[in-house]
Amino acid sequence: MSILKKYWALLLAVILLAASVLFYYNVYSLEKTAHESKVSQLETMISAVKDSIQLNSKYTEVQEFLEEKTNEFEVSRMELYSHFPKEMKEEDQIMYVLYLETLFDTEIEFAFGAPVDIQPLSGGYTLQGLDLTVNYETTYDGYQDMVEYLSTDSRITSVVESTMEYDAETDTAIGLLKLRLYLINSEDREYLSPDVAIPETGKDNIFD
């Protein structure tokens, strides 16, 4: 007991030292690491803001025109979209093929197509493709008329596949055309019947 009384001050100092070491590693050290991490994040953000300010300062002279040009671009984009129908129903596909028949001067067999998404566009619009496969029998001039029509039509149509067997003696061209018609779909757009010229069929019933 006398020894403890003699060295109590030393023992107390050792205990306080141990407590200080534990406090340093368990509290101060962790807080210091978190603080340094926050400082590093803030320095990174400050650096990014400085870079952004420096970059934007290069375009101060044109910033006043940005809103005007952005509006012009939006008008141009919507004008472009207006050339594409929202959808092409089966009756629209029939009328389209009937018009192609007048160019071929023959009857065409075809299968109805269904739209398939091709590419999402800005503003919630989607570019779609609808494939029509037509089997034809016509003259060589009729085939040329068809190609010319497809290349000049206001509707944007791609020829995905084309085959032709030609008999020069009878001037008969037989083959297959796979056409892809393009649509732009959006919930904001209303359905309008595509602008397809209605041909004179000479029939009371187009299905006869």
Quickly list DSSP for the chain: -HHHHHTHHHHHHHHHHHHHHHHIIIIIHHHHHHHHHHHHHHHHHHHHHHHHHHHHHTTTTTHHHHHHHHHHHHHHHHHHHTTS-S---HHHHHHHHHHHHHHHTS--EEE----EEEEE-GGG-EEEEEEEEEEEEE-HHHHHHHHHHHHH-SS-EEEEEEEEEEETTTTEEEEEEEEEEEEEE-TTSPP-----PPP----SSTT-
Write down the pLDDT at residue 199: 52
| pLDDT value for 126 | 92
* Total number of domains in the chain: 2
- What whole-number distance in Å separates Cα of residue 75 and Cα of residue 97? 32
**What domain range is 171 assigned to?**
90-185
Q: Which residues of the chain have pLDDT under 50?
A: 1
Contact (Cβ atoms closer than 8 angstroms) between residue 29 and residue 36 = no
Of 78, 92, 97, 83, residue with least CA distance to 156: 83
Both 94 and 179 in a single domain? yes
Report yes or no on 148 lying in a domain.
Answer: yes
Can you give the pLDDT at residue 200? Answer: 57
Distance CA 193, CA 105 (A): 24
pLDDT in tens, 178-195: 889 899 888 877 777 666
Supply the pLDDT for residue 128.
93
Same-domain status, 94 and 53 = no
Do 177 and 109 share a structural domain?
yes
Is 169 found in the same domain as 96?
yes
28 sits in the region (left: phi over 0; alpha: psi -120 to 50; else beta) called alpha
Measured distance CA(70)–CA(64) in Å, rounded: 11
In the prediction, which pLDDT does 117 show? 93
Task: Please say which residue of 40, 57, 74 terminates a domain.
Answer: 57
Distance CA 183, CA 87 (A): 6
Q: Which CATH number belongs to the domain containing residue 117 in this structure? A: 3.30.70
Q: Determine, yes or no, domain membership for 193.
A: no
pLDDT score of 118: 92
Residue 154 CA to residue 185 CA, distance in Å, equals 18
Domain check: are 31 and 102 in the same one?
no
In a domain, 53, yes or no: yes
